[in-house]
Structure 1
Amino acid sequence: MRCTLGVDIGTSSSKGVLVDADGVILASATRAHEVSRPRPGRVEMDGRVWWDEFAALARELVAAAPDAEIVSVGVSGMGPCILLADEHDEPVRDAILYGVDTRATAQIERMTTELGVDDIVRIGGSTLTSQAGGPKMVWVADEEPEVWTRARRLFMPASWLVRRLTGAYVLDHQSASQVSPLYEIEAERWHEPFWDRYAERIERPSLTWAGDVAGTVTAEASALTGIPAGTPVITGTIDAWTEAVSVGAHEVGDLMLMYGTTMFMVFTNSVATGNETLRTPSMWTTAGAFLGTRNLAGGLSTSGALTAWLKDLTDADYPQLLAEADASGPGARGLLMLPYFAGERTPIQDPDARGVIAGLTLEHTRGDLYRAALEATALGVRHNVETMRAAGADIRRIVAVGGGTQGRLWLQIVSDVTGLVQEVPATTIGASYGAAFLAAVAIADAEAPQITDWNPVAETVTPRAELRDRYDTLFDRYVRLYGGTRDIVHELAADQRGAAGPPSASIDPTTLEAEAS
C-alpha cells in the first residue's frame, strides 16, 4: 500500500500521520513537549528535540503499518523560528520562536530607523514586529556575540528536518518571507544588501516552494527513522500554511482560522491573477505556500494557551469548563477579557500588552471566566478580520482547523462574534496531514490528488443573528479597553522585566479603533 508520511513540529507537541493514497489516516502519533520561557518575553526550544521527535514518530508510524510503502515524506513546523547552527550543523543556541518571543524590541526600533519604514515595507512587505526573523538574528549578534561568531546556517523546524533527512540546505519562500527584512516579497528572493548588512556570516539557504522535493532520505537518516533510503522529502513550510493546505483553504479569497495554542489566520491572494500584494502595518504580508500567491496573515499570541492556563488554575477538566461556560451565556455575565497574556501580535503588534479581566465581582464563577476567555479570543479574531478587510482583503470563505475545532462551543462563539460562517472539514488533525498531502502531490505520476477528495467539509457553523447587536457592543468595548489600559499594563510589563524597558513597538490605539470601525 503506497503511503505518505507527514510530521509537524508544533509549539506544544509534534504530530505525525501515515496516510494512504485516498487520504485515509492509517496511523497517527504524538510527542508532547514544552517550550522554555527563561525570562518574560523570551520563548525558546532546543532544536535538537525536533529531530529526535521526528525520528521517534517515524519509527512508531512505520511499526504501526508494516505493510505500508512510504513513497514520500512531508514536513512542517511552527514559525518563523530562528535556529542558528555552526558549520557542522550543531545548534549554537536554543531556537528563538515566532512572534510570541518579543525580545528583539530594541533591534526592531534600530533597524527601522536605519532602513526606513518605507523601504522595509516595499522590499519585505511588512513592518518589523516581534514576528520578524531578521531582528531576532540581530539580537543574537548584539547580545550573544560569542554565539553569533559560531553561527553559519539558519534553520526553521521544517528545514531542520529536511537537512537531517536529506542533507539539503533549503528554506521555502513562505518561511523566508518572514525573515523580514531580508527577503524581497515581489522578486521572491533574498535581498542581498540587507542580508549582507545584518547576517553576512550566515550562509543563505537555497529557496524553493513548500511542495517541491528538496532531496531524498539518506542511508544514515533511514537507519534512524525506518524510512527507506531514497524516499523523496518535500521542502515543507510553517505549520499555519500547511494547516491551510490540509483543509483546502489556500485558494484566492480563502481565510484559514487555526485553533491551537495560539490562533492564526491566513488570507490568500494571488498576484498571478493581477491582484495587488496587500500591505497594512498591523498585519503580516508574506509569500504564499505556492508560486504566485501572497498572504495577509495575523495571529493571537494566546488562545489554547489561555484556556489551558485557566484549566490548570481552576483544577477543572475541559468538559466541566465548557459546560459551565455554556451555562454562563453570551457576555459571560458582564465580564470582558483582553487575551494578551503573552503580549499580542496582530493587529496591535504590542509585545508589552498584558491580559486584562474587566467587570469582576464576587458573584462570578470559573465558568464565567472560561466563557470570557473564549469570547476574548473570538474578539481577537474579529479584530484581525476587520483589519484585513480594511486593507482590501476580499474574504469569501472561512475554514476552521486545529485541535480547538473539537469543541463546538468555541466554534459557535467565534462565528457569533465575527458574524462569519465557518466550514469545518472532516479531518482537522492539521499541519501533519497537510504535509502528507503536499508530499503525495509532489510525487504524483499522473493526476495529482485533490484535497477536496481527501478532506471534504463535514459541517458548517452559522452565526446567530440575535446575538449580533450584543457582540457588536462587546467588540466596541474590547477595542476601547485596550486603549484605556495600555499605558498601565506597559508599566506593569516593565516591572515584570525587573526594570524599565524600551517603549513597545506597538500601534497607536486610535489607529486601531479607526481600522476596526
Structure 2
Amino acid sequence: MKVSAVLGVDIGTSSSKGVLVDVDGRVLRSSTRAHEVSRPRPGWVEMDADVWWQEFVSLTRDLLAPGDVEVVAVGVSGMGPCVLLTDAANVPLRPAILYGVDTRSTDQIAQLNERFGADEILRRCGSALSSQAAGAKVAWVAENEPDLYQRARRLFMPSSWLAVKLTDEYVLDHHSASQCTPLYDTDDHDWYHPWAAEIAPGVVLPPLRWPGDVAGRVTAEAAAVTGLPAGVPVITGTIDAWSEAISVGAQGVGDLMLMYGTTMFLVHTVAARVTDPSLWGTVGALPGTRNLAGGLATSGAITAWLRELFGSPDYPDLLRLAEASGPGARGLLMLPYFAGERTPILDPQARGILAGLTVSHDRGDLYRAALEATGLGVRHNIETIEASGGDIRRVVAVGGGTQGGLWTQIVSDVTGRAQVIPAQTIGASYGAAFLAAQTGWTVSIEAWNPVTEVCEPRAEFAADYDELYGLYRELYTSSKRVAHALAARQVRFLGAARTDASKEQRNEGVAS
C-alpha cells in the first residue's frame, strides 16, 4: 500500500532541493541538485529558467522512483525576488535576473526615485528601492534591452515558474509581489497599476494569491514529464526565505528567522506595518502578517569560496580548524561584502575585506573570520531592525549552515541572542511541503517540527565581540571610498578582458 505524502521543491541559489513528507511531518526522502549561477559581469547574477524546470523534473522522478508513495499535493518555492520575463507563450526571453545579489539596476533606482519620489515609494511600497527591488530590474531590461523587452508579456519568479509549468496557471503570491518595488502597494495588497503601467509597459502582471493558495492542478502534460499524478493541487508558493520561516514556525509576532544559506536572510514578524529605508518592509507569507526583513548578499557563498581556495577539504574539517582558531580568529576581521551588500548599508559597490592578515594566519583563522563576519552582519541588521521599531522576542535558526553547530554558536556569541533550532532545518522545501499539506490535511508546524535545541550565547566572549563589532562598523566607513574605487576598476578590467577575448576569437576565425 502506498504512503500518502506531499512533495516540496525549492529552487535555491546554489542548489535545488526536494522532499517527500508524510502526514506526520516525517521526511520520507530528500534529494538535491547542485547548480551554479552565471556572473557575466561584476554585479550581474543570472540563471537560466530551464534549469529550474529540469531540476524539478529530475528531483521529482528521483523521489518517486521507488513507487511506494502517492503524492497528494505539491509545494514550490524559490530564491527571489527574481525577474524572469517571457513572451505570451511563456517562452523566456533572457536568463532570469536574480535578487539583491544582482546590482545592475543602480541607474534605474536613481531614475525611479527621481520620478516618483523616494519617500513616496517607501510609504506606498514598504521598502526603499535597492538592489533587491524587482521592479527596478524590469526597468533595467526595458532600458538596456529594448528590442527584447518589446516581446515581454509575463513576469515570473522560480516558484511561479514551476507553478505555470505544472498547472498552466499564471499566478504570483502577495509576498513575492511586495518585493517587486515599486510595482506593489502593501496597504492595498495589489499591484499599483499607475506605476506599473509606466515601469513595465506591455507586461501583464500576474493575478495575486497567498503562498498556500492552490495555483492549479497538475496537467496531463506535466504529469507525463514528472511522474506526478494528474490533477493533484499545486500551491502558489513563495520566496525561499519566507518558506523557510514557515518551515520552522517563525511567523509569530516578535519572531526573527535567520536563514543560514548561500546568502543570509532575516525575517522579523511585526505587529503592524513598519518601514525603514535601510530594510525591507513586506507583507508576510501568511494572510494578515507583515515583516521587516534584511539580508546579507553573501554568507555561505564566502565559506564555499574559501573551501575551494583551500583545495576543497570537508566542511567538518574546516569547522574543526575554525573552532581551534578561537573567538576573534587570532586578530582577523572580515567585511562580508563580496557581492556588494544588501541591508542595512544597501551598498552594491561595497567589497569584501580581510583585515589584520599576517603570515602566521592559517586556514582555520580565515574560515573563522568568515563565520564571524556573518555574525557581525547579522548583529548590524538586528540593531537596525530594533531601532526601526521591531521587537525581537525569539530567534529561530534554519538552513544548511545550522549543521555542525559552530556557525550558529558564533552568531549567538556575536549578537548576544539565543537561537532556537527545530528538529528539521532542511528549510524552504519543507516549508513548501507544509503549505501543500494544508490543502488536504489538518496539520500544525509545531507538531511537524518541534524545537529540539537552544543555542545560548556565551557571556565570556561578549566583551571581545563587542570590541570586534565596533571595529567592523569602523572598517566599512573608513574603507568605503577605496572599495568603491576598486569596484569601478573591476568593471573596467572585465571590459578590457572581454575585448581581448573577442579579438582572440576573431583572429582564430581568420586563421582557420
Using the size of structure 2 for normalisation, the TM-score is: 0.95
Of 309, 317, 330 in structure 2, the residue corresponding to residue 313 of structure 1 is 309
Rounded to whole Å, the distance in 2 between the matches of 1:310 and 1:25 is 31
Aligned to 1:322: 319
- Consecutive unaligned residues in structure 1, runs of 5 or more: 502-517
For residue 81 of structure 1, give the secondary structure of its aligned residue in structure 2.
Answer: coil
Aligned to 1:469: 463
Aligned to 1:252: 253
Retained in 2: the 8 A contact 1:7–1:54? yes
Aligned to 2:474: 480
Rounded to whole Å, the distance in 2 between the matches of 1:102 and 1:400 is 27
The answer as to 2:332 corresponding to 1:335 is yes
Q: CA deviation at 1:292?
A: 1.1
Deviations 1:114-162 (A, max 9, x none): 1101110111011100000011001001111111011110000000011
Aligned to 2:487: 493
Aligned to 2:274: 278
Rounded to whole Å, the distance in 2 between the matches of 1:153 and 1:323 is 48
Retained in 1: the 8 A contact 2:316–2:404? no
Rounded to whole Å, the distance in 2 between the matches of 1:230 and 1:243 is 27
Rounded to whole Å, the distance in 2 between the matches of 1:318 and 1:228 is 39
Rounded to whole Å, the distance in 2 between the matches of 1:284 and 1:473 is 28
Counterpart residue identity of residue 135, structure 1: A
Aligned to 2:170: 169
Aligned to 1:208: 209
Rounded to whole Å, the distance in 1 between the matches of 2:127 and 2:106 is 16
Of 342, 349, 354 in structure 2, the residue corresponding to residue 352 of structure 1 is 349
Counterpart residue identity of residue 317, structure 2: Q
CA-atom RMSD, angstroms?
1.2
Rounded to whole Å, the distance in 2 between the matches of 1:335 and 1:12 is 28
Deviations 1:27-48 (A, max 9, x none): 1111111100001000000011
Rounded to whole Å, the distance in 1 between the matches of 2:485 and 2:11 is 35
Counterpart residue identity of residue 283, structure 1: L
Q: CA deviation at 1:60?
A: 1.2
Rounded to whole Å, the distance in 2 between the matches of 1:114 and 1:34 is 36
Aligned to 2:396: 399
Rounded to whole Å, the distance in 1 between the matches of 2:445 and 2:155 is 32
For residue 7 of structure 1, give the secondary structure of its aligned residue in structure 2.
Answer: strand
Rounded to whole Å, the distance in 1 between the matches of 2:14 and 2:447 is 30
For residue 454 of structure 2, give the secondary structure of its aligned residue in structure 1.
Answer: strand
Aligned to 2:64: 62
Deviations 1:209-263 (A, max 9, x none): 0000111010000000111111001000000000000011111111000000001
Aligned to 2:501: none
For residue 264 of structure 1, give the secondary structure of its aligned residue in structure 2.
Answer: strand
Retained in 2: the 8 A contact 1:77–1:158? yes
Aligned to 1:11: 13
Counterpart residue identity of residue 373, structure 1: A
Deviations 1:160-210 (A, max 9, x none): 011011111100000000000000011100001010011121011000000
Retained in 1: the 8 A contact 2:41–2:494? no
Of 295, 298, 321 in structure 1, the residue corresponding to residue 294 of structure 2 is 298
Aligned length: 492
For residue 438 of structure 2, give the secondary structure of its aligned residue in structure 1.
Answer: helix
Counterpart residue identity of residue 393, structure 1: G
Q: CA deviation at 1:62?
A: 1.3
For residue 161 of structure 1, give the secondary structure of its aligned residue in structure 2.
Answer: helix
Deviations 1:379-420 (A, max 9, x none): 000000110000111111111000000021111100000000
Counterpart residue identity of residue 309, structure 2: L
Structure 1 segment 376-455 matched on structure 2, within 5 A: 376-444=373-441, 448-455=442-449
For residue 357 of structure 1, give the secondary structure of its aligned residue in structure 2.
Answer: strand
Retained in 2: the 8 A contact 1:83–1:95? yes
Q: CA deviation at 1:500?
A: 12
- With 18-27 and 361-370 compared, the bigger mean Cα shift is at 361-370
Retained in 1: the 8 A contact 2:171–2:206? yes
- Consecutive unaligned residues in structure 2, runs of 5 or more: 496-512
For residue 375 of structure 2, give the secondary structure of its aligned residue in structure 1.
Answer: helix
Counterpart residue identity of residue 230, structure 1: G
Aligned to 2:151: 150
Using the size of structure 1 for normalisation, the TM-score is: 0.94
Q: CA deviation at 1:291?
A: 1.1
Deviations 1:53-105 (A, max 9, x none): 111111111113x2322111000000000000001110000000000000000
Rounded to whole Å, the distance in 1 between the matches of 2:335 and 2:416 is 20
Aligned to 1:511: none
For residue 442 of structure 1, give the secondary structure of its aligned residue in structure 2.
Answer: coil
Aligned to 2:241: 240
Rounded to whole Å, the distance in 2 between the matches of 1:29 and 1:358 is 39
Counterpart residue identity of residue 220, structure 1: E
Retained in 2: the 8 A contact 1:494–1:500? no
Aligned to 1:178: 179
Of 49, 52, 60 in structure 2, the residue corresponding to residue 50 of structure 1 is 52
Rounded to whole Å, the distance in 1 between the matches of 2:169 and 2:240 is 20
For residue 88 of structure 1, give the secondary structure of its aligned residue in structure 2.
Answer: coil
Rounded to whole Å, the distance in 1 between the matches of 2:287 and 2:19 is 26
Rounded to whole Å, the distance in 1 between the matches of 2:494 and 2:136 is 21
Rounded to whole Å, the distance in 2 between the matches of 1:153 and 1:327 is 52
Counterpart residue identity of residue 475, structure 2: L
For residue 15 of structure 1, give the secondary structure of its aligned residue in structure 2.
Answer: strand
Counterpart residue identity of residue 295, structure 1: N
Structure 1 runs, 4 residues or longer, greater than 2 Å off:
none
Retained in 1: the 8 A contact 2:21–2:29? yes
Q: CA deviation at 1:317?
A: 2.8
Aligned to 1:366: 363
Deviations 1:453-473 (A, max 9, x none): 111111110000111111111
Aligned to 1:513: none
Counterpart residue identity of residue 360, structure 1: L
Rounded to whole Å, the distance in 2 between the matches of 1:70 and 1:355 is 45
Aligned to 1:508: none
For residue 75 of structure 1, give the secondary structure of its aligned residue in structure 2.
Answer: strand
Aligned to 2:504: none
Q: CA deviation at 1:320?
A: 2.3
Rounded to whole Å, the distance in 1 between the matches of 2:397 and 2:302 is 19
Counterpart residue identity of residue 390, structure 2: A
Rounded to whole Å, the distance in 1 between the matches of 2:69 and 2:476 is 53
Q: CA deviation at 1:442?
A: 2.2
Rounded to whole Å, the distance in 1 between the matches of 2:350 and 2:275 is 23
Rounded to whole Å, the distance in 2 between the matches of 1:365 and 1:118 is 47
Aligned to 2:133: 132
